Amino acid sequence: MLSLMAKLYEVIVLMFLSLISKITTTSSNTSTNVSIIDGNSYQLSWRLAVETNNIRMWRTVPAQCIRYVENYMLWGQYARDLDVVIEQINDYVRDLAMVELIDGMDAWILDIDDTCISNLAYYKGKRYGGDPFDPAGFKAWVQRGVCPAILPVLRLFEELVEGGFKVILLTGREEEALGAATMENLRNQGFVGYERLIMRGPEFKGQSAVIFKSEMRRRLTEEGYRIRGNVGDQWSDLTGDYVGDRTFKLPNPMYFVP
């Protein structure tokens, strides 16, 4: 009788413990899920909307996204996202290479800032886009000519040049003030062998990038270039007129250029 009582007691204790453990596990699972959702959902949605051009004309990274953008840029996801786009470009270039490049007029257009060379070090001091654009500060940074190459894009650049494409660098940077520094920066980072560097002349001062870049692409097309591909980190690099056979958007959640 005593041993039966002991057995019954043991069963009740086990049931009780199991119930407690179930409650704890459920509540801890729930809180983990909630914290994952709470930690990322708005920031991810914001970045997705920015990258898909659904949010436009934004001036600063929203306060609740600054830390997220910092982590995104610094801890690997930016590099992984970049690699996925470059892989797609490489596949497309391989398909293109099947077509004979006859007359040397098959061109690629590459943007410069945060496409060929990186301004991440500058934006670190601007809270990764949390602070509004500072034209004088950015100009001073560009004039130093120290933007590092974005390496997967440098490799793409080299492959395009070696493959016989004419690579045209098209940038909204002002030619008069920033021409020398830009050329030097491109050279010191290995961007050598491009067909042409097109910068913003005085007649396009104050114009949007879409208008300026569309007009430059129109002129190139009239010269006889076939724009096979167009790569940029801003939608204003890739929209408008004469955008090319294919466009590729590189990630950049730090700023918006109209």
Residue ranges in contact with Mg ion by CB under 5 A: 111, 113-115, 233
Q: Taking a C-beta distance cutoff of 8 angstroms, is the pair 145, 185 a contact? A: yes
Where does residue 243 rank: exposed (0-12), middle (13-18), buried (19+ CB within 10 A)? middle
Provide the 8-state DSSP code for 111. -
State the nearest-atom distance from the C-beta of 26 to Mg ion, in Å. 48
Residue closest to Mg ion when measured from CB atoms: 113
Q: Which two tokens stand for residue 187?
A: 């050279």
User: In angstroms, rounded to a whole number, what is the distance separating the alpha carbons of residues 18 and 174?
Assistant: 70
User: In angstroms, rounded to a whole number, what is the distance separating the alpha carbons of residues 79 and 115?
Assistant: 12
- CB-nearer residue toward Mg ion: 160 or 238: 238
User: In angstroms, rounded to a whole number, what is the distance separating the alpha carbons of residues 199 and 192?
Assistant: 17
